[in-house]
């Protein structure tokens, strides 16, 4: 009788594990392929060889790139090289990506930048917020951008128990931001278990020097985040649920869900077209290829444009798609004055004139 019970429990456990495995493959879109949607007048950006996970563009056309992200679960083309912040002036006829110098006292050897966001204060001071993973831990770094010197002055490092697995960030003040946690846990094994079991424990946190609080939760894996042009709404990408959440922002900085847009791809970082308010999304058509890297069958890339996201029926169009032959693992797309930049998790970056 005891053996029969043990076999029954083992069978149930194996069945549950099998069901979770199949569910994870579905969340990763493991069997999806894309047909190419090409753009004219595109070229790979020289100097970006190991990823530009996030891109943020100032109103004057200066674009910042977060490059060289390392993650235990991801491939890297430069595993021994620290990350950095590059800048490109999109007003130039042939813009080049240049690495910004960072002030002394900041540990460049452990710099592992992820999501980024800029904030322009009332006195025109430009702050750059960077999600950083030194030794795979979690901090938010605040820099002051000094344009004349092409440099970043490090101002502050932020750590907090409510920021255990930070992915992306949107700055709303000189020391104020919303951030996504893509996992509830910080331990690598628990992160894997959380994802496998599909616990939906990830969240959005609001941080200020006076208050830190969870303002939205229940996501499968909260990822990219951005804010509407009128500052009334926060957009959050839930990468493994294939969704973009539209959240209303209140005066006390709390968020309430307004709507959810379901898509057929893994949605990563979100950018806003300043001329139209459209949302541009860097996407992963097949997430399994990201984590099980095969140079003969590399991860593909996809960029979506979402028009009228607040309406009952937003218009979703594919701006760019590639099977990995040109660009592998697109994570972000940003636009400025008919120029499109596409970054990736660990590959190259693309510059296109639209």
223 annotated binding-site participant? yes
Torsions phi, psi for 149 (to 5 deg): -100, 0
Can you list the pairs that 287-294 forms with residues at least 24 positions away whose Cβ atoms lie under 8 Å? 287/27, 287/28, 287/29, 287/30, 287/239, 287/240, 288/25, 288/28, 288/29, 288/30, 289/324, 290/74, 290/329, 290/345, 291/28, 291/73, 291/74, 293/75
Q: At 8, which helix (H) or strand (E)? A: helix 2-27
Check the annotation: does 264 bind a ligand.
Answer: no
Q: Is 167 annotated as a binding residue?
A: yes
The answer to whether the annotation marks 168 as part of a ligand binding site is yes
Cα 124 from Cα 127, distance rounded (Å) = 9
Alpha carbon distance 96, 87 (integer Å): 8
State the DSSP code for 252.
T
Marked catalytic residue, from 75, 114, 183, 347: 114
Cα–Cα distances (Å) from 125 to 121, 145, 147, 285, 293, in that order, read 5, 8, 10, 38, 41
**In angstroms, rounded to a whole number, what is the distance separating the alpha carbons of residues 55 and 87?**
9
132 is in an annotated binding site: no
Catalytic, 114? Answer: yes
**How many Å apart are CA 245 and CA 222, to the nearest integer?**
10
Q: What are phi and psi of 272, to 5 degrees?
A: -115, 130
For residue 33, say whether it is annotated as part of any ligand binding site. Answer: no
Cβ atoms of 238 and 220 closer than 8 Å = yes
What torsion do the CA atoms of 190, 192, 198, 203 make, to the nearest 10 degrees?
70
Q: What is the DSSP string of 260-306?
A: EEE-SSEEEEEEE-TTT--EEEEEES-HHHHHS--TTS---EEEEEE
Annotation: binding site for Ca(2+): 53-54, 116, 167-168, 223, 268-269
Catalytic residues: 114
Annotation: binding site: 53-54, 116, 167-168, 223, 268-269
């Amino acid at each position: 009788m005891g053996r029969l019970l043990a076999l029954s429990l083992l069978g149930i456990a194996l069945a549950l594990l099998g069901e979770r495995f199949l569910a994870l493959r579905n969340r990763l879109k493991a069997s999806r392929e894309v047909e190419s949607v090409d753009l004219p007048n595109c070229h790979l950006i020289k100097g970006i060889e190991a990823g530009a996970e996030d891109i943020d563009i100032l109103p004057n056309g200066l674009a910042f790139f977060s490059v060289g992200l390392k993650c235990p679960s991801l491939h890297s083309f430069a595993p021994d090289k620290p990350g950095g912040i590059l800048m490109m002036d999109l007003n130039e006829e042939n813009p080049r990506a240049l690495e910004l110098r960072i002030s002394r006292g900041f540990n460049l050897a452990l710099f592992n930048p992820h999501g980024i966001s800029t904030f322009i204060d009332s006195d025109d001071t430009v702050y750059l917020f960077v999600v950083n993973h030194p030794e795979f831990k979690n901090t938010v770094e605040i820099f002051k951008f000094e344009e004349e010197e092409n440099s970043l002055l490090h101002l502050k490092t932020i750590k907090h128990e409510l920021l255990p697995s930070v992915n992306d960030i949107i700055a709303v003040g000189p020391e104020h931001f919303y951030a996504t946690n893509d996992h509830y846990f910080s331990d690598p094994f628990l992160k894997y278990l959380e994802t496998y079991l599909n616990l939906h424990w990830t969240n959005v946190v609001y941080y200020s020097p006076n208050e830190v609080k969870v303002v939205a939760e229940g996501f499968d894996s909260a990822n990219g985040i951005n804010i509407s042009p009128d500052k009334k709404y926060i957009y959050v990408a839930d990468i493994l649920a294939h969704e973009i959440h539209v959240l209303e922002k209140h005066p006390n900085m709390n968020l309430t869900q307004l709507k959810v847009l379901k898509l057929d791809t893994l949605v990563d970082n979100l950018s806003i077209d300043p001329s139209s308010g459209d949302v541009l999304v860097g996407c992963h058509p097949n997430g399994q290829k990201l984590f099980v890297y095969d140079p003969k069958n590399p991860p593909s890339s996809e960029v979506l444009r979402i028009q009228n996201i607040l309406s009952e029926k937003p218009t979703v169009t594919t701006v760019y798609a590639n099977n990995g032959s040109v660009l592998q693992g697109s994570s972000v797309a940003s636009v400025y004055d008919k120029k499109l930049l596409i970054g990736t998790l660990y590959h190259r970056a693309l510059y296109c004139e639209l």
